[in-house]
């Protein structure tokens, strides 16, 4: 009996050893500056062991660590894209309708794999991907492939299909009654709770709701989901520990979203002083997506010169009004409308619209992490967090354009771009 126990114990030990990864050599990063998510420090070093940051500060040293010299650079937390669609590609290549109607899920997934890689190489180690826009639950599979190391890409928070009011979303213009591929899951009344739960069961980390839209092409945007539907969907999502992102560009859609208690409002172009005051009061963050409006205006012929088209001006004005009201601003560009890997574009436009570089840098790191409830893992440089780190030449806390001068990207302690 004792002999058996001993053998069993040995067997267990052997298995435990086999499962352990080989002891990794710690890495001591020596940049010129460290932006920890809120503050810039000079003379700091960062020690990484395995997939974690184990120390950060001016007195950090480690014998036996591999030293990585990063002269002239600033080390920042891995950037967090707040609003992407990895399953869409720029509308000047293929219209949204044609992507949804004519591109197979296999084709769209293949593109999404390259989009994920481009995003990671641009220093974005996490994305909140707000809907596959007709590609079903393929985002869940892509996320798994990235997590399993099959393809390179950022950590993904996924929304799967997103939810729209029945009949409110495209593509449009077909013989009524003919079933055509849809850009999101349609729901009405009580049915919306079923849709929320179905998507969460299938892998949704976030629930995305369209609070308003154009009912038909060429029309003004109008509310789509009722306040009761938004409330029911939000409550079901919150019960399951998921956050809710509401697409809304009208005053009424935003008012209903705020009343429903969503976590973030996407776009928010129609926000008034009162609406932004209410967002501030309820702790709801705004994702301004300035880069999407900018890109669409250029596709429609704008050469980028001032004065900008009315739609671009509206985006800037609502962004300024939200900031003036003290609304939490997260950083998300609606990437997919424009090219993946160009995520920094949104940050440049936030700067142009009056937000200081340091606040923009906070938005895309620590603020996004807090609003997305992932700040216990990413979004800052401090001991215990996952080692998602980006080194850029120059100082992005005073010059946001420095984020385009990437010297090194590390995800989970592994250098993925050098
Ligand atoms: Zn979007």
Question: What separation in Å is there between the alpha carbon of 84 and the centre of ligand 1?
Answer: 6
Residue numbers in the chain where pLDDT is lower than 50: 1-20, 22
329: DSSP letter: B
User: How far are the Cα atoms of 74, 119, 171, 418 from residue 390, in angstroms, in the given order?
Assistant: 8, 13, 39, 10
Q: For residue range 164-200, what is the model confidence (pLDDT) as tens digits? A: 999 999 999 999 989 999 999 999 999 999 999 999 9
The tokens of 15 are what?
């298995």
Distance (Å, whole) CA 81 – CA 119:
9
Report pLDDT for 15: 41
H helix runs in 61-203, sequence order: 96-102, 105-121, 138-147, 191-202
Report pLDDT for 315: 98
Question: What separation in Å is there between the alpha carbon of 338 and the centre of ligand 1?
Answer: 11
Question: What separation in Å is there between the alpha carbon of 335 and the centre of ligand 1?
Answer: 7
Question: What separation in Å is there between the alpha carbon of 293 and the centre of ligand 1?
Answer: 11
Of 116, 127, 122, 33, the closest CA to residue 76 belongs to 33
Question: What separation in Å is there between the alpha carbon of 340 and the centre of ligand 1?
Answer: 13
Pair 53, 78: CB distance under 8 Å: no
Report pLDDT for 23: 61
Distance (Å, whole) CA 131 – CA 183:
9
CA 382, 388, 392, 397 dihedral sign is negative
Q: Helix (H) and strand (E) counts for the chain?
A: 13, 19
Question: What separation in Å is there between the alpha carbon of 81 and the centre of ligand 1?
Answer: 12
Report pLDDT for 358: 98
Question: What separation in Å is there between the alpha carbon of 216 and the centre of ligand 1?
Answer: 18
Q: Judging by DSSP bridges, how do beta strands 124-129 and 79-84 pair with one another?
A: parallel
269 φ/ψ angles, rounded to the nearest 5 degrees: -60, -25
Of 365, 363, 357, 359, the closest CA to residue 389 belongs to 365
Report pLDDT for 352: 98
Report pLDDT for 24: 83
10 φ/ψ angles, rounded to the nearest 5 degrees: -60, -45
């Amino acid at each position: 009996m004792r002999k058996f126990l001993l053998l069993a114990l040995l067997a267990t030990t052997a298995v435990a050893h086999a499962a352990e990864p080989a002891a990794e050599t710690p890495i001591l990063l020596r940049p010129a500056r460290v932006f920890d998510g809120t503050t810039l420090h000079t003379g700091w070093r960062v020690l990484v062991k395995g997939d974690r940051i184990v120390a950060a500060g001016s007195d950090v040293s480690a014998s036996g660590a591999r030293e990585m010299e990063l002269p002239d650079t600033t080390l920042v937390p891995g950037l967090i894209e707040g609003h992407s669609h990895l399953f869409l590609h720029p509308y000047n290549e293929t219209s949204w309708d044609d992507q949804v109607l004519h591109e197979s899920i296999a084709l769209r997934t293949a593109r999404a794999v390259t989009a994920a890689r481009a995003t990671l190489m641009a220093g974005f180690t996490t994305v909140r991907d707000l809907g596959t826009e007709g590609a079903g639950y393929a985002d869940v599979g892509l996320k798994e492939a990235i997590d399993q190391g099959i393809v390179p890409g950022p950590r993904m928070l996924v929304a799967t299909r997103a939810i729209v009011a029945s009949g409110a979303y495209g593509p449009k213009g077909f013989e009524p009654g003919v079933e055509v591929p849809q850009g999101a899951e349609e729901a009405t009344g009580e049915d919306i709770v079923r849709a929320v739960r179905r998507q969460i069961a299938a892998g949704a980390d976030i629930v995305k709701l369209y609070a308003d839209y154009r009912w038909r092409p060429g029309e003004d945007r109008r509310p789509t989901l009722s306040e009761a539907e938004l409330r029911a969907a939000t409550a079901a999502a919150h019960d399951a520990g998921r956050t809710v992102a509401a697409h809304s560009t009208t005053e009424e859609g935003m008012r209903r979203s705020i009343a429903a208690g969503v976590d973030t409002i996407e776009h928010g172009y129609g926000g008034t002083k009162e609406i932004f005051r209410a967002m501030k009061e309820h702790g709801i963050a705004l994702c301004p997506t300035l880069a999407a409006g900018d890109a669409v205006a250029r596709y429609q012929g704008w050469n980028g010169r001032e004065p900008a088209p009315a739609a671009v001006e509206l985006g800037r004005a609502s962004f300024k009004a939200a900031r003036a009201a003290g609304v939490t601003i997260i950083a998300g560009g609606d990437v997919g409308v424009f090219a993946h890997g160009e995520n920094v574009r949104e940050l440049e436009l936030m700067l142009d619209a009056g937000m200081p570089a340091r606040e923009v840098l906070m938005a895309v790191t620590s603020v996004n992490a807090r609003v997305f409830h992932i700040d216990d893992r990413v979004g800052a440089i401090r001991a215990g967090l996952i080692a998602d780190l980006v080194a850029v030449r120059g100082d992005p806390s005073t010059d946001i354009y420095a984020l385009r001068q990437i010297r090194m990207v590390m995800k989970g302690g592994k250098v993925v771009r050098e």
